[in-house]
Amino acid sequence: MTSNYKIKDVGLASQGQISIYLAESRMPTLMKIRSSFEKHKPLENISIGACLHVTRETAALIRTFSLGGASIALCASNPLSTQDDVAAALVKDNVSVYAWHGNDSEYYDCMRRVLDQKPNILIDDGADLIVLAHKERQKALPTVIGAQEETTTGVNRLQIMSCKKLLKIPVIAVNNAKTKMMFDNRYGTGQGIISVIKALNTLFAGKTAVIAGYGWCSRGMAMRAKGLGANVIVTEIDPIRALEAVMDGFRVMPMAKAIKEADIVFTATSCKDVLTKHHFIDMKDGTILANLGHFNVEISVEDLEKLSKKKVKINEYVEEYELPNGKRLYLLGEGRLANLVILGGHPSEIMDLSFSIQALTAKYLTVNHANLENIVYDVPEEIDKNVAIAKLETMNIQIDTLNKVQEAYVKSFEEGT
Ligand SMILES: NC(=O)c1ccc[n+]([C@@H]2O[C@H](COP(=O)([O-])OP(=O)(O)OC[C@H]3O[C@@H](n4cnc5c(N)ncnc54)[C@H](O)[C@@H]3O)[C@@H](O)[C@H]2O)c1
């Protein structure tokens, strides 16, 4: 057990161990990578500083890094997503963890403690750790060989830094791997809409669900809301994505119009102020608001607080806001990632893919960092493909391969009509 940590209670470790055990049993691809890491120690002498949701699945990844030879310091990428029992189990496993559920006031201090341990690889979810290192802990940067970013919002921020030539380390956009984005963002976040059911046990069938954005996350949410019988309206700012939503059979309109019909609103745009004062005023009595985008800026909680004459905590996850016009709105998880706050994050089977990519990307960085520039890279296609192959194997699913004739045909242009 390490003596470097700040968590809620080390005594919760045995519960955390059971929780991690269950996650690992559903992450066979990562476990395969773990066996190879244990044998070959690709991360020997590497120190990792991670800022991730401290969940049971993250623990499975952290343990894989450990068995691969790395030392690790971990802090949380969201004040409300830390599972305190998992944090305790990791401390027992010798990981320096600085995270506890509800840590708002020391959120950045925990990141500073991670950076002070001079990590060689930064693993981030939302780019707060990497941005902090650039802004005020530059002395930590010379020993960093590279960073990995887990989510769309983080990649967007880092790409802006790269364009402005402010990035001082190479970054690999784990989020942009196909086996991450098309599955974690679509099916993971898609299933995340059931956080509304867990929080309020509300019926979807016959309700109008307004979904802001039609990116990977929102496509998944729209698909699942439709499957539960909701009438789905999509709002967008991108004409191509809006067109795609229309052709997928959804109504598309501006938020100002959609909001008047909404029973439930979901946001996942990576933008801010998607819902503000004017939208709240126009909502129906009883509208439920859930954000599944990375930061808690998509639904303006500030506007909601200012506008409301009364606030009542309905349960652990939901606050009822009463507006001066008498209407009541229900906000989930303080406007933070509802699926993380309420469901404990994506199912392990999904994180099996995302964290297999993370593990193999760390190995890739240790071998290739000297050839990388200080820009944002995609995950090499080979890693992406290998993760898909391994996942299919664990699911006992076979696919076809090209025979010789087909192989020659697809590589030629001569044969036509
Ligand atoms: N909840 C989770 O577990 C989870 C998982 C993965 C990603 N995320 C987060 O979800 C968010 C969305 O990720 P993504 O991969 O779908 O991104 P994406 O870039 O694929 O999609 C975002 C979409 O929102 C649209 N958009 C932007 N501003 C808008 C606005 N003001 N109104 C309407 N539409 C707008 C964009 O045009 C785009 O089509 C990000 O913040 C990401 O980090 C959350």
Return the pLDDT at 1: 82
Return the pLDDT at 12: 97
Return the pLDDT at 358: 98
Tell me: the pLDDT tens digits for 253-302? Answer: 999 999 999 999 999 999 999 999 999 999 999 999 999 999 999 999 99
Domain 187-343 in the same topology as domain 10-182+346-394: yes
Q: Is 271 in the pocket of ligand 1 (CB under 6 A)?
A: yes
Cβ atoms of residues 183 and 384 within 8 Å: no
Closest Cα to atom 21, ligand 1: which residue?
A: 215
Q: What's the token pair of residue 87?
A: 């944090």
Return the pLDDT at 206: 98
Question: 78: closest CA among 110, 47, 48?
Answer: 110
Residue 284 is given by DSSP the state P
277 alpha carbon – ligand 1 mean position (Å): 21
Determine the longest span between alpha carbons in the chain, in angstroms.
Answer: 73
Virtual torsion, Cα 313, 316, 317, 323, nearest 10 deg: 0
What is the distance of C-alpha 85 from the center of its chain? Answer: 20
CATH of 187-343, picked from 3.30.360.10, 3.30.70.100, 2.120.10.30, 3.40.50.720, is: 3.40.50.720
pTM above 0.85, yes or no: yes
Domain boundaries, the chain: 10-182+346-394, 187-343
Q: Is 185 in the pocket of ligand 1 (CB under 6 A)?
A: yes
Question: 34: closest CA among 69, 1, 2?
Answer: 69
The percentage of the chain sitting over the pLDDT mark of 90, rounded to a whole number, equals 98
Closest Cα to atom 3, ligand 1: which residue?
A: 189
For ligand 1, mutation pick of 181, 217, 341 (most atoms within 8 Å of CB): 217
Using CA atoms, how far apart are residues 275 and 292, in angstroms rounded to an integer? 13
The percentage of the chain sitting over the pLDDT mark of 70, rounded to a whole number, equals 100
pLDDT at 216 over 90: yes
Tell me: the pLDDT tens digits for 311-366? Answer: 999 999 999 999 999 999 999 999 999 999 999 999 999 999 999 999 999 999 99
Return the pLDDT at 247: 98
Q: Is 235 in the pocket of ligand 1 (CB under 6 A)?
A: yes
Return the pLDDT at 157: 98
Q: Is 63 in the pocket of ligand 1 (CB under 6 A)?
A: no
Band (3; pLDDT cuts 50, 70, 90):
confident
212 alpha carbon – ligand 1 mean position (Å): 8
Return the pLDDT at 127: 98
Return the pLDDT at 110: 97
Cβ atoms of residues 288 and 196 within 8 Å: yes
**Cβ-based neighbour number of residue 129 at 10 Å:** 30
Residue type, 182: M
Pairing outcome for strands 328-332 and 318-322: antiparallel
User: Domain 10-182+346-394 in CATH: superfamily?
Assistant: Adenosylhomocysteinase-like (3.40.50.1480)
For ligand 1, mutation pick of 185, 339, 350 (most atoms within 8 Å of CB): 185
Return the pLDDT at 24: 98
Average pLDDT, the chain: 97
Between the two ends of the chain, the Cα-to-Cα distance in Å is 69
Band (2; pLDDT cuts 50, 70, 90):
confident
Band (101; pLDDT cuts 50, 70, 90):
very high
Return the pLDDT at 390: 98
Average pLDDT on 134-153 reads: 96
Cβ atoms of residues 112 and 137 within 8 Å: yes
Look at the chain and count its residues.
417
Q: Is 291 in the pocket of ligand 1 (CB under 6 A)?
A: no
151 alpha carbon – ligand 1 mean position (Å): 10
Tell me: the pLDDT tens digits for 180-190? Answer: 999 999 999 99
What is the distance of C-alpha 366 from the center of its chain? Answer: 24
Return the pLDDT at 68: 98
136 alpha carbon – ligand 1 mean position (Å): 28
